[in-house]
Amino acid sequence: MNNTKDHRGVINVLSLLLALFLIKEYYTLFDQRNVKNIYRLLHVHNPLFTCVIFVLIGTRSILLYARTNLPCLIVSEIIIYYLIYTQTHGIVSCNTTLLSMINFMKLYSFIFETTNCGKTVEHVMENGSSSATRSVDHSRNVQRTEEKQDDVPPEIELTYFIRFLFLPTLCFSDAARRRKRSVPALFHNLLMACIFFLLANFLVAFYIVPLLEQHTVFDFLTDISVFVRVSATSFIFWIAMFLFFFKYYLSFLAECTNYENKIFGEWWNAQYFRDFWRLWNIPTHDWLRRYVFAPFYLLFKSKWLSSLVVFIISGVLHEIVYILTFKKIGVVVFMSILSQFLFIYLEHALFGPGNLLFWFLFCFIGQPIFLLSLRKKILSVVSIKV
């Protein structure tokens, strides 16, 4: 009897059948009248204050370069959040919040690395806490995060600092990494970023908004056709956004700035949720590892407690984006992030490693239910009352 473990042909056929099924479904659901949702999504309600926010972020960066001051950084971030909350709306609120938050994390890293704090944490990460490093980088196959960080220049020029602000990294100690620019890759990444950005907005306007208008969480759990439509649409949208931002937009920035770094790992092969959170967004993971986990490990001497603090701070940051986008205070996003911490520590005991289980729970159960649970708030962004 001839046995084989190579099932790539079968997988290709099933993938083709699934693609044909989805094309048929989306062709049936398409309604050209939903084009109005694109305008509602991308419309800037208060362009003046949006420009003010950009100016504040840029001014803050230059002032903190001239004189590093952590309290001023925190106060300026609160002021910017207040302006976003009161003067912007919808997708613009979300994007400006993320921009300000990224800038805040970069400036915090700059302040941290240009003081003695950076040297202290470097010592902890490299010499005094090998177990702490293993707890965050457990089973990581890449060696990049285990290597010594590049030294921060003793005298930082303004051009070096400005380049760091546009690098696809949040850690100032990574800014010295350089490589030769590829002009064809630069234009390729820009083109693909535009394509996937348009695709993501097309999916929201023509499919996600209509699905949220028509269905609830109960429909998703009781009707198999609704389950397939919502799961597939939310998954494709998530992949489109990932490709737009991490694969192509950040790669475009890397080409523009001659920067060499790994932005994401092979999270699609994750056996556990721990692997996914470690690999899908390496810049944020490295920032949390260096500026949250390592200092708290130095304080508590506990991997478990330090990891809990990381997830709490991550949950708070996600909750801020939620509040400023939907103009409502809640704990839905915070609790969903915090639950990941509990699940990471329980999944080894409750489940065996399984990539199929990861995909099913994360993309075909978790994401659609989370999306439908926020349906009223999401529809309010495009001015639809339910």
DSSP state letter for 148: P
Per-residue DSSP letters for 19-77? HHHHHHHHHHH--GGGGHHHHHHH--S-HHHHHHHHHHHHHHHHHHHHS--HHHHHHHH
Residue 233 · residue 207 · CB < 8 Å: yes
Residues 263, 167: Cα–Cα separation, whole Å: 11
Per-residue pLDDT of 333-364, as tens digits, reads 888 888 888 877 777 666 555 567 667 777 77
Residues 267, 359: Cα–Cα separation, whole Å: 11
Size of the chain in residues: 386
Residues 333, 318: Cα–Cα separation, whole Å: 6
- Distant-in-sequence, close-in-space partners of 243: CB < 8 Å, separation ≥ 6: 192, 196
**143-166 average pLDDT score:** 65
Per-residue pLDDT of 283-314, as tens digits, reads 999 999 999 999 999 888 888 899 899 999 99
Q: Of 144-148, 296-300, 325-329, which range is least confident? A: 144-148
Helix, strand, coil percent values for the chain (each to nearest 5): 75, 0, 25
Residues 55, 74: Cα–Cα separation, whole Å: 17
Per-residue pLDDT of 64-112, as tens digits, reads 888 888 899 999 999 999 999 988 887 888 889 999 999 999 999 999 9
- Binned at pLDDT 50, 70 and 90, residue 122 comes out as low
The more confident residue out of 151 and 9 is: 9
Provide the residue ranges of all domains of the chain, joining segments of one domain with +: 35-122+158-166
The one-letter amino acid code at 240 reads A
Nearest Cα neighbor of 379 from 39, 84, 45, 40 is: 40
Nearest Cα neighbor of 72 from 85, 82, 59, 84 is: 59
State the average pLDDT for the chain: 79
Most confident of 2-16, 127-141, 179-193, 355-369: 179-193
Nearest Cα neighbor of 209 from 37, 29, 25, 7 is: 37
Residue of 7, 89, 188, 318 marked catalytic: 318
Residue 198 has pLDDT above 60, yes or no: yes
Structure-token pair, residue 93: 């609120």
Residue 262 · residue 246 · CB < 8 Å: no
Whether this model's pTM surpasses 0.85 = no
Residues 121, 228: Cα–Cα separation, whole Å: 47
318 is catalytic: yes
pLDDT-above-90 percentage for the chain: 23
Supply the pLDDT for residue 135. Answer: 37
**169-196 average pLDDT score:** 88
Between the two ends of the chain, the Cα-to-Cα distance in Å is 60
